Amino acid sequence: MNGGGLLVAGTTSDAGKSVVTAGICRWLVRQGVKVAPFKAQNMSLNSFVTREGAEIGRAQAMQAQACRVEPTALMNPVLLKPGGERSSQVVLMGRPVGEMSARGYHGGRQERLLGTVLDCLERLRGTYDAVICEGAGSPAEINLRRTDIVNMGIARNAGLPVLVVGDIDRGGVFASFFGTVALLSPEDQALVAGFLVNKFRGDVSLLEPGLDMLHGLTGRRTYGVLPFRHGLGIDEEDGLRVSLRGTVRESVVAAPAGEDVLRVAVCAVPLMSNFTDVDALAAEPGVVVRFVDRPEELADADLVVVPGTRGTVRALEWLRERGLADALRRRAAEGRPVLGICGGFQVLGEHIEDDVESRRGRVDGLGVLPVRVRFAREKTLTRPSGEALGEPVEGYEIHHGVAEVLGGEPFLDGCRVGQTWGTHWHGSLESDAFRRAFLREVARAAGRRFVPAPGTSFAALREEQLDRLGDLIEQHADTDALWRLIESGAPTGLPFIPPGAPA
């Protein structure tokens, strides 16, 4: 017998589907329920490598952590990694299968993947008591409904009840809830059980008359009103929008352990990927992290991070156009700390041979590290571990570029020259002892009296944050009604709201 299930949809992108899904997962696992997350199709530049070497969205890896289970490719069978405005790399069951335009994907390829995603969901439901699925965008994207495999397409085929999340902080939540239902076909509407209000500020009693009217208009109840909480946007999907998500300590303002703060500037390169790498820096008391796009913003930075990107050659051009390339070269020559991660490591090298990603052939790098990079068609997907600065460190690698290191001191799989560091390893800064050792080196080179706080545990902070998400659901949602949905499906007899989906 298959376990229960629920699809968490949203009125818009960024309505809070990822964190609500994680919160429901954490609430369930604390009740002793064996639960897993699932997202049929994810579009994100923030990804993760599972232990079996599969690439999935970081949001699903975070949700697996909320479930206290190991993430697998089954939890995110289709991952789309944008390479520009019109094309994406398609990652299927954790492995890249090629580049495709949006028109080509929605023109037939997506529909053919429905069997794969349904099989993954079926396997999860055969193993777990409950599977909490996350939708994408809005379920009422009527232009895409025919080929949909992540919202109502998966709900219809798997018989999942649907909970629609709306971000009231943006305004217009009642119209969004009503309009979402009213643009669905009768068959789809029958699965939409009700609503969940997210990011509410103020007195809930003032909202209740509107919720009652919404129930009267749609025949559907609201399952909870979640209050606005700072710092819950962990491991978000949207790598195209530059916005600091490293806010794991936002709710607790901690003073620096030493006399000085440490200022970190992250170059906001195009198609930035895995910007979650700097979350661990932002978790440190006294470390101030900001994203920058002008050379003068590097002047007062104690550390500059050049992050990963899905467009290494494009990032190089952007750095040159903005004057950041010259500023980075000056920093390196002056012995001021620079850290390049993955694509950021590649741009710091001598040159890049790219006939895969940009197909631009040989392109000169910034020349501050003795490294030559050749792009291979096969993607490296590994979970390495080792030692650096005398401390144990773990990470994960996601890249086509193969680095030939010609000098410098070894640093993880890359190298170090003076105070310029480069590595392909994502996530290394989550290793607490290594992060503290690295920040001590940076502070010494920058002449700052900064001292890393000895007790900061990034893993513990993440667990604390996931528990806060679980608390939100437990304290502000009707959990008994939610469990009935998960166990028994959508209520019968839900009314049709006209006009429904267009023919």
The C-alpha atoms of residue 490 and residue 503 are separated, in whole angstroms, by 25
Single-letter amino acid code for the residue at 19: V
Burial of 296 (C-beta count, 10 Å sphere; 0-12/13-18/19+): exposed
The CA distances from residue 190 to 11, 67, 114, 267, in Å, are 17, 29, 21, 47
Burial of 367 (C-beta count, 10 Å sphere; 0-12/13-18/19+): middle
* H/E run at residue 80: strand 78-82
The C-alpha atoms of residue 325 and residue 172 are separated, in whole angstroms, by 43
Helices and strands in the chain, H and E counts: 16, 27
Give the active site residues: 342, 426
**Local structure of 148: helix, strand or coil:** coil
Q: Which value, to the nearest 10 degrees, does the dihedral of the CA atoms of residues 114, 116, 119, 125 take?
A: -80
The C-alpha atoms of residue 164 and residue 222 are separated, in whole angstroms, by 9
Which residues have a Cβ under 8 Å from the Cβ of 412 and sit 6 or more positions away? 384, 386, 388, 393, 395, 423, 424, 425, 428
Give the closest residue to 316 by CA, choosing from 262, 271, 255: 271
Do β-strands 351-354 and 361-364 pair in parallel, antiparallel, or remain unpaired?
Answer: antiparallel
Phi, psi of 49 (to 5 degrees): -110, 125
